[in-house]
Amino acid sequence: MSGEASDEPYAAGPTAGLEGRDLEDRPEARTILESRDLSVFYGEEQALQSIDMEIPEKRVTAMIGPSGCGKSTYLRCINRMNDLIDVARVEGEMLFNGKDVYDDDVDPVALRRRIGMVFQQPNPFPKSIYDNVAYGLRLQDNTENLDEKVENALKKAALWDEVKDRLDESGLDLSGGQQQRLCIARAIAVDPEVVLMDEPASALDPVATSQIEDLIAEMAEEYTVVIVTHNMQQAARISDKTAVFLTGGELVEFDDTDKVFENPESDRVEDYITGKFG
Amino acid sequence: MAADTANEFGQVSRRVGIAFRYLLLASTLVGIVTLGFLLVYVFNDAIQPLSADPGWHLTFFLTLVLPGLATGWWCLQRGYATFTTGLVGFFLPVLASLYSGAIAALFIDVIPTLVWLAFVVAFAVPVGVFAILQQPTVDLPFLANVALIGGSAIGSLLVIPGLIQSFPTVPSGWVVLLITLGLPASLLLARNLSDRWGQRQGRIAGLVAFLAVGAAGPLGTATGFGAIPAVVLTLFAGVPTALYVAIVVTERPALRHGLLLPAVLVGGSLLGAALVSAVGFAGPESWVDWSFLTSTVQSGDAREVGIYPGIVGTVLLMFVVAVVSFPVGVGAAVYLEEYAPDNTFTRIVDVNISNLAGVPSVVYGLLGLGLFVRYGGARSGTLIVAGATLALLILPIIIISTREAIRSVPDSMRQASYGMGATRWQTVRNVVLPRAFPGILTGTILALSRAIGETAPLLVIGAAQVFGVPDSWSSTIGAMPLQLYVWASTYASPEFYTTVLAAGIVVLLTAMLTMNSIAIFVRNKYQQR
């Protein structure tokens, strides 16, 4: 596995990440996702206020902010999960590889096959571990070498050693942290370009949380990871870029993580990060 | 000092609360006790236990009741799971035998086995075509798939039945059942057990099942029991019971002591019966006996009449009702829960389905009469008309219970599926329906057990009041409740009320209660997952 390079900075204590991830040794990242003037309304209420953001490829981008600030809404705009909510309405552009995902000729189902998602509550299907991971592959009729692909996905999700002898047991029999890693394996089995994570560790205990964090750091070698989190230390530990949303659906600051945490431009962000509110 | 402080709290009066509690208890008991009295009366009339020799009672008390109670108590001491294992081990073969009796009756009287064979082959052809098209190597456009499957279905239904029925030599009835039911069941068994016990054991189990069903045919002929009943009984009661025992012994060895309970109950009954006939104790002059269950006579003579036509009619009706109402009801529920937009139309449909569930059944009878007989031109009182009418009656109940089951599937499952890039159809098929299925099944069985007791709609659509065993899909038909109604009206006499009618009620209630208990069993089994 490709863990060694990234293990060292993130395995350390919560403050270690404040130096940010070491971006200098990597080439400048290409922008894979870009929102332009993106606003979202739930009925009359505006949940996001014309957000402009550029998310780099194969980096971890964190979105933090108090409850109800629109960070999850933004995440769900990326793979059009907001389409499932009847009252949600989106204005502006969300460019994925330069193509607006809200164009009429974009099939949201096809889009979601390229942009995977991991949810807050671990939500494996009540099927076997194997069938959970194979779910996306089977949806796409991509069943050649299925065993091998399932094994690879479980290995990438650092779950293989724990479950290799009981692949036909129900995914619901696993512990919470294992379930969440199973959900990550399920998301990356179809080899998406982007993995969206909506507070993936907030329902887990500290040990499981740190396993997930290690995993996210490794995933950034291959995938673009966009993660919503409540936990500022977590954002500081694992992300390359951080976006701070504040109440009202406003993007207040978006920059390299170490810059945001050490020297934020906005006073409100500084107040939020230092815990004066939120 | 301490005592003084304690006394200051005093007592708070609970008199009203206690009175309220016992009032609630009383209102709970009113219905149950009244119904209990009625049932005791009915069972007493139907079975006449007091007409038996005291020695008969004593013998069975000593051989069956005492050992049964003792074993049951012993199982309970070992754990509740052991006890329920024993109960299932007893009721599974009993219920399965009852239902196999009904199935055997169908093959003997209603559906000639040759016709059955013809239609099974005719249906197997499109299924085979479908299976071939599902192979990953076959890649045809969607419309070509549909056309091939539809074409083969229509073609084989038109050609094959005639072809098979014109064969010069045809296999005998039990061989047909062995091929059409025993073979697929054995293959299915072998496949499923291969997953559980390993390939070799699974294949052996499947082969044993097939050979047992095959051996039952000649054995049934030789003993005079009849080849078809023997095959059906072995397949639908013998094989499931053996499978249950095998699964308990191999996979739940801790619970295997529970199997002692059915062994004691069955052994006790046999021993008791042997003793009673050896000593010559007279049994009760029960009205629920073999001749009552199998007689087709319809007359005013209480000694002669039988409920057999009613049983066959009810079984056929339930089949038609299930085939019509299940797909329509589940389809409607899936649409309303998963697809329907939240608009005025949906809300109107919503409200009206709840109202339809409460419409009196006689109104559905009128609807059936108007729709199928007056407009549809069907002959009144036929199986199809009666079945379709009862299907309409329970449709709202199936829709409501299915929607309940679908709603109980957590939304996070759907989100996960959509997040993986599943279409709505893939989500419904792979996530929602499998998870909701036990609930759907339970609701459907309960709805069917409501339909089984309906009389009014059958009367309105002109179902036969004096009827024989139906011999085709278009013959007029009756059902058990209708037969009870006729006995209570046309042939009404004090003798009928206390004998045949009571026996008929016992049979009807047994059918209904077994269906309900199957529904409860299914629900409990899957709730534990």
- Interface contact flag, A119 B413, Cβ < 8 Å: no
**How near does any CA of chain B get to the CA of A128, in Å?**
13
pLDDT reported for residue A130: 92
Checking if the pLDDT of B406 tops 60, the result is: yes
pLDDT reported for residue B3: 52
- Interface contact flag, A125 B423, Cβ < 8 Å: no
Share of chain B above pLDDT 90, in %: 26
pLDDT reported for residue B316: 86
How many Cβ pairs closer than 8 A exist between chain A and B? Answer: 66
Share of chain B above pLDDT 70, in %: 97
Local confidence band at A9 (pLDDT 50, 70, 90 cut-offs):
very low
How far, in Å, CA of B440 to CA of B13, rounded? 48
DSSP B98-109: HHHHHHHHIIII
- Interface contact flag, B418 A81, Cβ < 8 Å: yes
Measured between CB atoms, which of A121, A123, A139 is closest to B421? A139
How far, in Å, CA of B105 to CA of B313, rounded? 11
What is the mean pLDDT of the segment spanning A143-172? 89
Checking if the pLDDT of B528 tops 70, the result is: no
Residue-range domain boundaries for chain B: 57-283, 308-527
Is the residue at A150 inside a domain? yes
> What are the tens digits of pLDDT across the range B164-188?
777 777 778 888 888 888 899 999 9
> What are the tens digits of pLDDT across the range B354-364?
899 889 999 99
Measured between CB atoms, which of B415, B426, B435 is closest to A123? B415
**Beta carbons of A212 and A204 less than 8 angstroms apart:** yes
The winner for highest mean pLDDT among B54-58, B68-72, B513-517 is: B68-72
Single-letter amino acid code for the residue at B390: L
Mean pLDDT for all residues in chain B:
86
Q: Which of A2-16, A103-117, B427-441 has the lowest mean pLDDT?
A: A2-16
Is the residue at A225 inside a domain? yes
What is the mean pLDDT of the segment spanning B364-372? 90
What is the mean pLDDT of the segment spanning B484-497? 82
Q: Which of A134-143, B104-113, B442-451, B465-474 has the lowest mean pLDDT?
A: B465-474
CA dihedral (A68, A72, A78, A84) positive or negative = negative
Mean pLDDT for all residues in chain A:
84
- Interface contact flag, B413 A116, Cβ < 8 Å: no
Mutate to test the interface with A, among B420, B424, B430, B431 (most CBs of A within 10 A): B420
List the strands of the sheet with A88-96, edge to edge: A45-56, A31-42, A88-96, A99-100
Tokens standing for A61?
A: 């981008």
Measured between CB atoms, which of A84, A112, A121 is closest to B420? A112
How far, in Å, CA of A29 to CA of A34, rounded? 13
- Interface contact flag, B421 A187, Cβ < 8 Å: no
Closest residue in B to A78 (Cα) is B419
Closest residue in A to B342 (Cα) is A86
> Helix, strand, coil % (nearest 5) of chain A?
40, 25, 35
How far, in Å, CA of B121 to CA of B113, rounded? 12
pLDDT reported for residue A225: 93
- Helix, coil or strand: residue B444: helix
Is the residue at A278 inside a domain? no
CATH code: domain of residue A261: 3.40.50.300
Local confidence band at A25 (pLDDT 50, 70, 90 cut-offs):
low
Local confidence band at B405 (pLDDT 50, 70, 90 cut-offs):
very high
* CB < 8 Å from B in window 202-261 of A: none
User: What's the distance, CA B466 to chain centroid?
Assistant: 26
How far, in Å, CA of B169 to CA of B164, rounded? 10
> What are the tens digits of pLDDT across the range B226-258?
888 899 999 999 999 999 998 888 888 888 888
**How near does any CA of chain A get to the CA of B340, in Å?**
12
> What are the tens digits of pLDDT across the range A66-80?
888 888 899 999 999
Local confidence band at B113 (pLDDT 50, 70, 90 cut-offs):
confident
State which fold the B308-527 domain adopts. MetI-like fold (1.10.3720)
pLDDT reported for residue A20: 46
pLDDT reported for residue B326: 94
Tokens standing for A245?
A: 């949303």
Local confidence band at A11 (pLDDT 50, 70, 90 cut-offs):
very low
Predicted-complex ipTM score: 0.85
Q: Does A79 touch chain B (CB under 8 A)?
A: yes
Checking if the pLDDT of A12 tops 70, the result is: no
> What are the tens digits of pLDDT across the range A170-219?
888 898 889 999 999 999 999 999 999 998 888 888 888 888 898 898 88
Count the residues in chain B.
529
**Beta carbons of B396 and B352 less than 8 angstroms apart:** no
Checking if the pLDDT of A3 tops 60, the result is: no
The B-side interface with A (CB below 8 A) comprises: 136, 341-342, 410, 412-413, 415-423, 426, 430-431, 434-435, 529
Local confidence band at B324 (pLDDT 50, 70, 90 cut-offs):
very high
How far, in Å, CA of B331 to CA of A227, rounded? 39
- Interface contact flag, A139 B410, Cβ < 8 Å: no
When divided into structural domains, chain A yields a total of 1
Long-range CB contact pairs, B377-382, < 8 A, 24+: B379/B474, B379/B476, B380/B461, B380/B462, B380/B476, B381/B461, B381/B462, B381/B463, B381/B464, B381/B476, B381/B477, B382/B473, B382/B474, B382/B475, B382/B476, B382/B477
Q: Does A141 touch chain B (CB under 8 A)?
A: yes
- Nearest to B479, CA basis, from B273, B321, B274, B342: B321
Tokens 């399920």 belong to A186
What is the mean pLDDT of the segment spanning A31-53? 89
Tokens standing for B458?
A: 């059958």
- Nearest to B241, CA basis, from B66, B434, B133, B89: B89
Q: Does A139 touch chain B (CB under 8 A)?
A: yes
Checking if the pLDDT of A7 tops 50, the result is: no
Parent domain of A170:
3-273
pLDDT reported for residue B139: 73
Q: Which of A99-103, B49-53, B333-337, B404-408 has the lowest mean pLDDT?
A: B49-53
> What are the tens digits of pLDDT across the range A212-254?
898 898 888 889 999 999 888 889 989 999 999 988 888 888 9
Q: Does A1 touch chain B (CB under 8 A)?
A: no
How far, in Å, CA of B505 to CA of B179, rounded? 37
pLDDT reported for residue B68: 92
Checking if the pLDDT of B6 tops 70, the result is: no
Local confidence band at A27 (pLDDT 50, 70, 90 cut-offs):
low
Closest residue in A to B424 (Cα) is A109
Measured between CB atoms, which of A84, A135, A170 is closest to B420? A135
Checking if the pLDDT of B271 tops 50, the result is: yes
Q: Residue A184: its chain B contacts at CB < 8 A?
A: none
User: What's the distance, CA B512 to chain centroid?
Assistant: 8
How far, in Å, CA of A52 to CA of B349, rounded? 44
Local confidence band at A5 (pLDDT 50, 70, 90 cut-offs):
very low
Tokens 């571990």 belong to A129
pLDDT reported for residue A19: 45
By CB neighbour count within 10 A (0-12 exposed, 13-18 middle, 19+ buried), where does B439 fall?
Answer: buried
Q: Residue B419: its chain A contacts at CB < 8 A?
A: 79, 81, 112, 116-117, 119, 187
Closest residue in B to A80 (Cα) is B419
- In B318-388, DSSP assigns E strands to none
Share of chain A above pLDDT 70, in %: 90
Q: Does A187 touch chain B (CB under 8 A)?
A: yes
pLDDT reported for residue A17: 43
